[in-house]
Structure 1
Amino acid sequence: MGSYILCQVKRAENPYYIESIGLNIYSIEELCYYICQNLPLLDATILNERLAEWFKEELKLRRLAQKLLQLVQKEFTLGEFILPVLREINYLSNTEFRDLELKVKGLEEQPSPVRLKLKGDALVSHEKYIKAIEVYTATMALRKEANLGSQFLGSVYNNMGCAYARLFQMEEACDCFHHAYEELHTRATLKSYLYAVYMKSGEEAYEKAGEDLGIDPATRVEMDRQIASVGPVELPEHLDQALAEWTRAYHRNTGL
């Protein structure tokens, strides 16, 4: 980040609590770091009058607090709120600040369902799977209004399936991965679906699902090898590892 001095502003005695990921913030430096790393999670549950009052009462940043209090009295953009916070301690270099401005502008210009999906993805990265599923569900409810097609819908189903799988709710994970494959028809979503079927119902169900979907020989050999390597179904850590690996491959291949 920029050439700021760590903890140039006093630490708060009472932290600012970010409910969405269960995080306590004690300094403006910590908040600036959170802002830069979690743009999709910045909404009215964080950027609000309570935060402005926290700046005033806990950090004694009265001018910044007054500016933010004026903003929350009207409709404001993400950039209008967070950029003054970052400027307060010169948290970023000039180049980093301009780059962040572009990211914020790009996020603000996205349709609401896209912003929601990014929020869900961020929640998954923080292992807040139940909240992520709620956000993905809301995303699908708004998708048609924004005229977003199969590629977007499939990516939401895929990521929701990963969230369900991390909760070991395999029936829901299977449904999501199946929908994702129906929309995307990619090898990554096929593998995720078949693996989820195996973890939910065992080898016989996995064999049948592969036959029903006409899995190609190369994918079948790879799937059989990977499933054989993870051992018994009852070992949950292997599910987490395999799905994490396939999720990373999915994102690398699709950019979603």
Structure 2
Amino acid sequence: MSGYILCQVKRAKNPYYISNISTNIYSIEELCYYLYHNIYLLDETIINEQLLVWMKEELHLRRLYQRLYVLLEEKKNIGEFILPIFKEINYLSHDQFREMNERLKRFEEQPEIVRKKIKGDYLVDHEKYINAIQVYQETLKDTEENETNMGSQFTGSIYNNMGCAYASLFQMNEALTCFQKANEELHTKASLKSWLFAVYMSKGQDAYEQMCTERKVDAETKREMDRQITEAMQVELPRDLDEALAAWTREYHKNTGL
């Protein structure tokens, strides 16, 4: 895609709400942008009848609605379903759509539980931490209920990334629990350091020092941790604290959708 795409269809009076990223869309151009840039989030939360009804009633795209409704009933794959949407306004070139469709096919070939984890990782990368945590929790639940043997590396990675999401929300007790479980699965230096850092942030220096002793942390790793903690604690407050707090509040509401 290059340059600007002029709005070819009138904007909707009532937006379509996309829960995955907690945002509203008002036009088919915005819908195409979302579909193209968020292929790992394309699931039943957006590929559904509600979307089609919105396109028919708000954008007056009746022919497109009829075509997509047939594809939805036939349960076509995601690539086949979204192609007519892009073609409606010639949003993608042939090569761009082919490249995107190849990524979609590789994604759809993965087991469902792996696709869920990828979705969670994608949400973390885009700072949608609450949604990511929900996806990780569902993934872990599915793993337990279906007795899916994905290995300790898979489970540990979920706990680690969920810990990062909790830490980004400053929910350090929850992050501590996740990092502990991650280390129990992974047994790596990196997972241990994340756990130690969460202990320091959640329970304080004495608990951190005690854990270093109990876990027999080697001197080099301890020095690394002490240095990283010192650097993390050297945070300067913005001069305009009120504006900074307002910005942080806006970011929180953007992330949570509240």
TM-score normalised to structure 2 length: 0.82
Please, which moves more after superposition, 140-149 or 8-17? Answer: 140-149
Secondary structure, aligned partner of 1:24 = strand
Match of 1:223 among 225, 234, 237: 225
Quick one: structure 1 residues 215 and 128, their matched pair in 2 at CA, closer, same or farther if it must change by over 3 Å? same
Q: Deviations over 1:216-236 (max 9, x none)?
A: 322221110111223389x9x
Q: Residue in 1 aligned with 2:170?
A: 168
| Residue 156 (structure 2) pairs with residue 154 (structure 1) | yes
Q: Residue in 1 aligned with 2:63?
A: 63
Secondary structure, aligned partner of 2:119 = helix
Q: Residue in 2 aligned with 1:112?
A: 112
In structure 2, distance between residues paired with 1:86 and 1:212? 58
The CA deviation at 1:179 is: 1.5
Q: Deviations over 1:197-223 (max 9, x none)?
A: 000011111112222223232222111
Amino acid at match of 1:162: C
The CA deviation at 1:4 is: 7.1
Amino acid at match of 1:138: E
Please, which moves more after superposition, 145-154 or 171-180? Answer: 145-154
Secondary structure, aligned partner of 1:221 = helix
Please, which moves more after superposition, 56-65 or 218-227? Answer: 56-65
In structure 2, distance between residues paired with 1:83 and 1:70? 13
Quick one: structure 1 residues 221 and 138, their matched pair in 2 at CA, closer, same or farther if it must change by over 3 Å? same
Match of 2:182 among 180, 183, 186: 180
Match of 2:214 among 212, 217, 221: 212
C-alpha contact 1:3 1:91 (8 A) present in aligned 2: no
The CA deviation at 1:51 is: 1.1
The CA deviation at 1:52 is: 1.1
C-alpha RMSD of matched pairs (Å): 2.2
Quick one: structure 1 residues 109 and 194, their matched pair in 2 at CA, closer, same or farther if it must change by over 3 Å? same
Secondary structure, aligned partner of 1:17 = strand
In structure 2, distance between residues paired with 1:172 and 1:163? 10
C-alpha contact 1:140 1:153 (8 A) present in aligned 2: yes
Q: Residue in 1 aligned with 2:51?
A: 51
Quick one: structure 1 residues 2 and 100, their matched pair in 2 at CA, closer, same or farther if it must change by over 3 Å? farther
Q: Residue in 1 aligned with 2:83?
A: 83
C-alpha contact 1:9 1:27 (8 A) present in aligned 2: yes
Secondary structure, aligned partner of 2:90 = coil
Amino acid at match of 2:84: P
How many residue pairs were aligned?
234
Equivalent pairs: percent with the same residue? Answer: 59
In structure 2, distance between residues paired with 1:218 and 1:95? 51
Q: Deviations over 1:66-111 (max 9, x none)?
A: 1111123343322222222122222222222111011111111111
Q: Residue in 2 aligned with 1:248?
A: none
Q: Residue in 2 aligned with 1:242?
A: none
The CA deviation at 1:126 is: 4.3
Amino acid at match of 2:8: Q
Q: How does 1:117-128 map to 2 (within 5 A)?
A: 117-128=117-128
In structure 1, distance between residues paired with 2:58 and 2:232? 51
